[in-house]
Structure 1
Amino acid sequence: MTGLHVFCGPQRYTPRMLRPPRLASLVASNSDILAALGAAAWVVAADSHSDAPGLEGAVRLGPDLDIDVAALSAARPDLVLASLSVPGQERVVQRVRDAGLEVLVLDPISVHDTLADIRTIGHAVGLADRAEEVARTLDAELDTLRLPFSAPPRVLVEWWPRPIIAATRESWVTDLLERVGAVNALADRAGRSAPLTLDEVRAARPDVIVCSWCGAKRLRPEVIEARGLGVPVVAIHESGLGRPGPRLLEGARHLHAALESLVPA
């Protein structure tokens, strides 16, 4: 299921309310979207991974997969924003629903879905015009980053090293790579991500491996280099590749810079 937008709860926020909505964000990508919309100050509660500017006043709820629902309820949000882009968050969503809170659940798997989610969140919080501007700008700026490869390089984006987990076909990474002129080396493998053996990584024939470990305090591309595949490895923080929101532009710019040297003279 893609592009899932589910509200539940006793009351949906509408722009006719006399005060800004009290918002809660359970994943960093949604917090990034709210910050881009200028609504970070409306966030009364957020997961501990969210690092968007303007969240200083938000109650921290713990990791995105271990949300303190009691603390969330105590923050009295009008709307809770969740996302199934974080594997396993569906269990958190059920607990939020059981608490009687109104929740908007997003489920992006592509850049197109991400642009739609920016617009959906903007509409939900009364900032539709600003959301349209953010989405259009992101889309246009991504278009400027395409490199003129005669044969698109095959790129493998690694989310975790042990076991090796990498982005597969149903990931926004596939679209993002296409926007810069490359291809996902695992585009023939179904799903959003998959564990891989070293032989499977070798069989994918990547020209470049991207180290973008989710939740890692420090990226260590030398760990990937030590596998002996003889493939260039670049490090790009997961905030640029692992969050389906406006910061995908950062990831695309890093990909562009990393791949530019591969363009034939």
Structure 2
Amino acid sequence: MRVVSLVPSLSEAVAVTLPAVLVGATDWCSHPVGLEVARIGGTKNPKVDRILGLAPDLVIANEEENRAADLDALRAAGLEVLVTEVRTVPQGFRALERVLAACGAPVRPRWLDEAEAAWTALPEPASRSTAVAPVWRRPWMVLGRDTFAGDVLARLGVHHLYATHPDRYPRVPLDELRAAAPDLVILPDEPYRFTADDGPEAFPGLPCALVSGRHLTWYGPSLAEAPRVLAEALRAAHP
């Protein structure tokens, strides 16, 4: 098999499970560290000609991260494209099983069993907190309805205040975010790279948790440690 991945989390999943299979990935595919495959552009602007030149048996993509027009162009060129749709943690596990099987994995990898066990064993939260979870600024955008990251937070005892918004990633003025008076502001380092010097200053008086975007938004090997890593970051900001 020769596989090109247009999704960072799926690139990691395939590379960890079937190292010889992955031949191409996006510029944003940063894991496993030191991944050495052909780079084919971004998730939103992949180089179709470059992908065709790799002669893959399969291209793996995601309906949220990749544009339909790019996927249509790949199909029109004769490539097989497998597209995942993941809005919850259980859907993430099912998508990973499907992708790895399509890539030729003979058995379910151990890391996937460990990841699913980590989430299955997660205790019911002793208490729940409210949060806003920006994913971008200029303009400010937050997690809205029906997102994988929102489901991750809910399972950790965090209700994000825009979970019922009509949009999945609504643009919300900063004044409105402040007025919502959440218990916590959650600032991931992707897709926008919030840092201690870029993000918390916009929310004076509110505790801010700087969290790993990979653990919050990726469905792949990082899921095994995500409950612990995220819970520690949330507790540090809001004991």
After TM superposition, list the pairs within 5 Å mapping 1:158-173 onto structure 2.
158-173=134-149
The verdict on how the C-alpha distance between 1:84 and 1:204 changes in structure 2, with shifts beyond 3 A counting, is: farther
1:154 aligns with 2:118: no
Structure 1 SS opposite 2:108: helix
Closer/same/farther in 2, CA of residues 47 and 164 from structure 1, 3 Å limit? same
Q: How does 1:36-51 map to 2 (within 5 A)?
A: 36=16, 38-51=17-30
Q: Distance in 1 between matches of 2:34 and 2:71?
A: 21
Alignment length (residue pairs): 238
* Shift in alpha-carbon separation, 1:183–1:139, aligned structure 2, 3 A: farther
- State which drifts further: 119-128 or 61-70: 119-128
Query: Out of 100, 108, 111, which is 1:122 matched to?
Result: 100
Is 2:114 the partner of 1:137? yes
Q: CA contact under 8 A between 2:111 and 2:224: conserved in structure 1?
A: no
- Using a 3 Å threshold, how does the CA distance of structure 1 residues 135 and 256 change in structure 2: closer, same or farther? same
Q: Which runs of 5+ in 1 are unaligned?
A: 1-20
The runs of 5 or more residues in structure 2 that have no matched partner are none
Asked whether the equivalents of residues 160 and 213 of structure 1 are also in contact (C-alpha less than 8 Å), the reply is: no
* Pairing partner for 1:105 from 75, 83, 86: 83
The answer to whether the 8 Å contact 1:24/1:79 transfers is yes
Residues 1:190 and 1:40: Cα distance change in structure 2 (over 3 Å): farther
Partner deviation per Cα, 1:237-261 (whole Å, 9 max, x = no partner): 3222222333244443232113335
The answer to whether 1:75 aligns with 2:54 is yes
Cα deviation for residue 203 of structure 1 reads 4.2
CA contact (8 A) 1:212 1:235 kept: yes
CA 1:33/1:98 → structure 2, altered by over 3 Å: closer, same or farther?
same
* Deviations, residues 176-223 of structure 1 (Å, cap 9, x unaligned): 11222222222121333111111331344321112114345x532433
Q: Using a 3 Å threshold, how does the CA distance of structure 1 residues 77 and 142 change in structure 2: closer, same or farther?
A: same
Classify 1:55/1:254 alpha carbon distance in 2 versus 1 (closer, same or farther; 3 Å).
Answer: closer
Quote the offset at 1:143 in angstroms: 3.8
Residues 145 and 56 of structure 1: CA distance in aligned 2, closer, same or farther (over 3 Å) = same
Deviations 1:107-146, CA, capped at 9 Å, x for gaps: 1111111011011112212225225x44432121124454
The equivalent residue for 1:222 is: 197
- 1:253 equivalent among 204, 217, 228: 228
Percent identity over paired residues: 27
Residue 170 of structure 2 aligns to a residue whose secondary structure is strand
| CA distance in structure 2 between the partners assigned to 1:143 and 1:224 by the alignment | 33
- Report the residue type matching 1:97 in the other structure: R
Provide the residue aligned with 2:63 in structure 1: 84
The alignment's TM-score, normalised by the length of structure 2, stands at: 0.88
Deviations 1:149-184 (A, max 9, x none): 33x111222211211111112111222112222222
Give the residue type in structure 2 aligned to 1:120.
R
| Distance of aligned partners of 1:108 and 1:58 in 2 relative to their CA distance in 1, 3 Å threshold | same
CA distance in 2, matches of 1:231, 1:254: 21
* Residues 40 and 55, structure 1, Cα contact 8 Å, conserved in 2: no
Partner of 2:15: 35
State the partner residue of 1:200: 176
